[in-house]
Chains A and B, each alone.
Chain A
Amino acid sequence: MLHRYPKRVAIIMLVLLAIVATFPLWGPTLFGSQSDFILEKLTLMVILALFAMSLDLLVGVIGLVSLGHALFFGLGAYTLALASPEFDAASLWWMLPLVMLVAAVAALVVGLLVIRTKGIFFIMTTLAFGQMLYYLISTAPFAGGTDGVFIMFRPSVTAGESVLLDLDNPQTFFYLCLGMLVAGFLFLRWLTRSYFGQVLDGIHDNEHRMQALGYATGGYKLVAFVISGVLAAVAGMLAAMQYGFANPAQLGWHTSGEVLMMLILGGMGTIFGPILGAFAYEILLYVYEHLTVHWPILMGLTIIAAVLVLPRGIAGLIIAPPGKAELMKSPWLRRLGRNRPPADIPVKPAVPNKEG
């Protein structure tokens, strides 16, 4: 975990934030009638960025690879869909706490089981629990089966009688999502730099040593798991508001895989990286979908290439721009030239044959 970013990170992120935040001002003049569509896409990217960022707390900061994070994303979506009155708008004032509470309870229950496992076990069990909820929801009679549940009205934000925010207005909704993303980022930055975050760092580096020092590492991991789940559920709730429905696909493990892709594309363990990753992933997706109906092949090859050549993601490029030496650290590129010993290491003499 990186606690001090180079200054260019802050500059780049602030410039990007300014560009995205002012889109409603310059979008219509630049893109004309297309700008409504682009604003919709931007809103989705902002929501997915929050989702990816929540996963970074587990994967990047603690080193727990979860392949079931869509569980909480979908749970947020379904909580909104099922708790909303059918012919009226729910109030965001109680919907948001409700979503967070449901997610916290679910994360606590799942967390108590999966925190006991490590490494590959953790991957498999998170995946399995994610699928469990997926099957529960897609076969449950109250949740609309594989069609999902439609949300007729976006929640309202009112104070007394007056409407504070009209979320049916795409721009207002966009700014709400952007505000949530910024708040989530600042919260996670604060959390990872706090005492709590330092302990998580220690667990990432050497959990046994932290236990020997007297830290109940399980408790720390569980709290982080719950926080991460709650943030993902908020993102899921926003996504359901954006789409106008909750669907089992939002719970499925392909969604969990996709958010991991965003994480690796953006660069994990940096909190700001996943934001870039979510934007990059969605832009790539858009481009690939327009190139060919067989876009998953391109996406699959992209992710394979990212793992092999760019394991630290876009954030890695920003924090430490690659020189030649850095590039050669890529395991695959190194492999291509592995038969040639590096010039600075003397060639070892041949080991004498056992029989000889």
Chain B
Amino acid sequence: MDLAFFGVQLLNGLQYGLLLFLIASGLTLIFGIMGIINLAHGAMYMIGAYLVYDLTLRLGNFWLAIAVAIPIAVVLGLIIERLFLDTLYKRDHLYQVLLTFGLILVINEAQRIIWGGDVHSVAVPAPFDASLQLTDNLQYSVYRLFVMGVCLALAGVIYWVIRHTRLGIIIRAGAVNRDMVEGLGINVRTLFTLIFSVGVALTAFAGMIAAPLTSITPGMGDSILITCFVVVVIGGIGSIKGAFWGAILIGMAETFGSVLIPSIASMVIYLIMAAVLLVKPRGLFA
């Protein structure tokens, strides 16, 4: 493996890891603050991708499609939270697992009814539909660099909000002791709705910007959900920092695993998780 090829894989791993972070951060926020395990998180990633596919066809512009799709995703998150999750906060995780599993079945099948079972793709949008010439026979997509930049910027925004704003203080306090925050007069109901909508919007947005890079298939949310669970377990549940480093680690491991040791590539991330559990059962950053 020469250096340029190695560099390309490094960039791919970084880009994939950053995308995973967007999804996993929503998952870990929703658990850390709300105490809810949301299996339907991956399904929202899929919905994001399909929304952008559909809207790009209708509106003829990828960026316009994203602008329209984000509010739709937020509203979907609001509906789910208000209608179903609201009853689950005080109940056992088992019911959360089952209810959100039921939601997966409904959302996946709704996707089949609306968009069918075919595999779709979205063209890489202008002005990023170019490639950088790295060496004579190696190119790198500008759009991938753009995705990386967007993910990094969002990670920065999340970090800033959590570290330096009043909302961030409430979120951090809520992750430590929810009852106390409520006792101090914070409206936890509104906070929950906000967190859930933001989390869903983040994962749907990840699906949207990933759409030109992957093939859009039914069930694409299920596999990404489980990868993100591994990320969250490695990083420590509720920890944004853990989600970030866990996502980078898993992104790299999966990218390099499929290049270097393809025979057991699909197992690598689980082996890493097992190793982390052996050493730190609560995750690296918990």
Query: A residues engaging B (CB < 8 A)?
Result: 59, 63, 65, 67, 113-114, 116-117, 119-121, 123-125, 127-129, 131-132, 135-136, 139, 253, 257, 260-261, 264, 268, 294, 296-297, 299-304, 306-308, 311, 331-332, 335
Contacts and interface: CB of A to CB of B under 8 A. Distances in A.
B1 interface: no
Given A121-B281, A132-B270, 20 more contacts: A59-B94, A67-B97, A113-B278, A114-B277, A124-B229, A125-B273, A128-B233, A135-B270, A260-B97, A260-B98, A264-B98, A297-B109, A300-B102, A301-B102, A304-B102, A304-B103, A304-B106, A307-B88, A308-B84, A335-B86
A300 B230 contact: no
B4 interface: no
B106 A296 contact: yes
Contacts of A296: 105-106, 108-109
Nearest to B105: A300
Q: 7 smallest A-B Cβ distances: which pairs? A: A300-B105, A132-B270, A135-B266, A300-B106, A303-B102, A304-B102, A116-B281
Given A59-B94, A139-B266, A297-B106, A125 B113 contact: no
B46 to A, nearest CB: 14
Contacts of B271: 132
Contacts of A261: 98, 101
A288 to B, nearest CB: 11
A260 B102 CA distance: 11
A187 to B, nearest CB: 24
Contact of B101 (A117, A135, A294, A303): A303
Interface in B86-122: 86-88, 90-95, 97-99, 101-106, 108-110, 112-113
Given A135-B266, A308-B87, A121 B282 contact: yes
- With most chain B CB atoms within 10 A of its CB, the pick from A132, A136, A306, A307 is A307
B99 A332 contact: no
Contacts of B112: 294
8 contacts: A65-B94, A113-B274, A113-B277, A119-B93, A124-B230, A131-B270, A135-B266, A297-B109
A191 B264 CA distance: 40
A67 B222 CA distance: 14
B139 to A, nearest CB: 29
B95 A307 contact: yes
B106 A128 contact: no
Contacts of A67: 97
- With most chain A CB atoms within 10 A of its CB, the pick from B87, B101, B110 is B101
Contacts of B90: 331
B37 interface: yes
Interface of B: 31, 37, 84, 86-88, 90-95, 97-99, 101-106, 108-110, 112-113, 222, 226, 229-230, 232-233, 237, 263-264, 266-267, 270-271, 273-274, 277-278, 281-282
Contact of A253 (B31, B105, B226): B226
B106 A307 contact: no
B93 A65 contact: yes
B31 A120 contact: yes
Contacts of B222: 253
A117 B109 contact: no
Contacts of B226: 127-128, 131, 253
A306 B84 CA distance: 12
B233 to A, nearest CB: 5
- With most chain A CB atoms within 10 A of its CB, the pick from B110, B229, B263, B278 is B229
A307 B102 contact: yes
Nearest to B229: A124
Contacts of A63: 92
